[in-house]
Structure 1
C-alpha cells in the first residue's frame, strides 16, 4: 500500500485535488479531521486541540489502512498539524513527528487565489508564504519524500496525477 499525503498552506487545492484523485482512480480518501474538529469545536485552538486533531487524523488513517488499498489518499496528516502548531504557537511538539508517515507528500504552493471558508486563518500573501515555508520545514524535519505542486489548477492536477502514477504499485 502506498500512502500519498496532500500537504501545504490553506486554500491551495489540496482537498479538491484529493477528491478528484479519488474519483479518477477509485482509491480511498481520508479527509481532513481537523476541519471536522474545527466545525464542531470552533477555531480558537489550543495546543491540546491540535494534538487531539492529530490523534483523530491518525485514527482515521489507520481505519482506512485496514482494507489495504493499493493507494491511500490522505488529505492531511500529523505533519501538517505540526505546521499548524508552529504557525499558531511557534512550536511543533515531537509527538506530531512520531506518527506513521506517508510514502509521498505533495507540497502545494500558495500561488493560486485565496478563498475564505470560515475555518481558514492565513489569507494574506505574506502569511500564506510563511505557512508554505513552515509546511515545507516540517517535511524536511521529518525527512520524508515530497514533490512540489504549483501553477494553475490544470497544471496542479496534471502534476498530482503524474507524481502519483510514478508511485503507484504495479498491477497484479
Structure 2
C-alpha cells in the first residue's frame, strides 16, 4: 500500500484554506488536518503570544504526522493540511520580528508532496480573533510567496470562488501531485490554475 501523500494548503488569512481542505478530503476520500491556531485561539480566547508560536507550529506538525499514520492504516490516499508550520513561522516574523522558526518550518515543509498556494481573490471577511484585515492579508501573501520561492518549493496557485476554486485545486493535484523526492531543483515548476 502506498504511503498517503501530504498536501499543504497555504495562504494568507481569508483565502479559503479550511473550506477547501475539507472539500478536497471529501472529494479524494482523504483526511483533513485542521489548523491548530484556531483551536488554540478558541481554547484561550486570544491570539498567541510570541513565546507560544513554536508550540503552535510543533503541534500542527504533530497533528499532521498522526493523521498521515491514520491515513496509512486506513488506506486513504491523501492528507490535506489546513495551513502549515511555515505559515506560523511567517506570522511569527510578521508580528514579533522572530525569524527563529523558519529553519524548522522549512524542513517540515519539504514533507509535502504538493503545496497549494491559495490566492487572496476571495472577499475578506472578519472572523473574530484570527483575521486582521486586507492589508495584513496582502503582506502575508507576499511573505508566503517569497518563502516558497526562497525554498525553491514547487507549488500550484489556486484561485477562483466556490466550485471554481475546488475544481482548480483538483486540477492542480492531478497535474502536479508528485512525491517530494521528485521536486525539481528550481522554482520554475510553479503554475497557476
| Fold equivalence (TM over 0.5) | yes
Structure 1 counterpart of 2:114 = 104
Q: TM-score, normalised by structure 2?
A: 0.79
1:91 Cα deviation from its structure 2 partner: 3.2
Runs of 4+ displaced beyond 4 Å: none
Query: Structure 1's 146 and 168: CA in aligned 2 closer, same or farther, altered over 3 A?
Result: closer
Unaligned runs of 5+ in 2: 179-193
**Residues 12 and 111, structure 1, Cα contact 8 Å, conserved in 2:** yes
Structure 2 counterpart of 1:75 = 82
Number of residue pairs matched by the alignment: 168
RMSD: 1.8
Do residues 13 (structure 1) and 13 (structure 2) align? no
Q: Tell me the secondary structure at the aligned position of residue 107 of structure 1.
A: strand
Structure 2 counterpart of 1:120 = 130
Residues 38-62 of structure 1, C-alpha deviations (whole Å, 9 max, x = no match): 1112334222211111111111011
**Residues 107 and 148, structure 1, Cα contact 8 Å, conserved in 2:** yes
**Residues 7 and 75, structure 1, Cα contact 8 Å, conserved in 2:** yes
Give the distance between the partners of 2:109 and 2:146, measured in 1 at CA.
Answer: 18
Which fold has the larger relative contact order, with Cα–Cα distance below 8 Å and residues 6 or more apart in sequence? 1
Residues 119-162 of structure 1, C-alpha deviations (whole Å, 9 max, x = no match): 323313x3221111112222223332111112333321111011
1:96 Cα deviation from its structure 2 partner: 2.7
Residues 56-97 of structure 1, C-alpha deviations (whole Å, 9 max, x = no match): 111101111113232111111211111211221233323333
1:106 Cα deviation from its structure 2 partner: 0.8
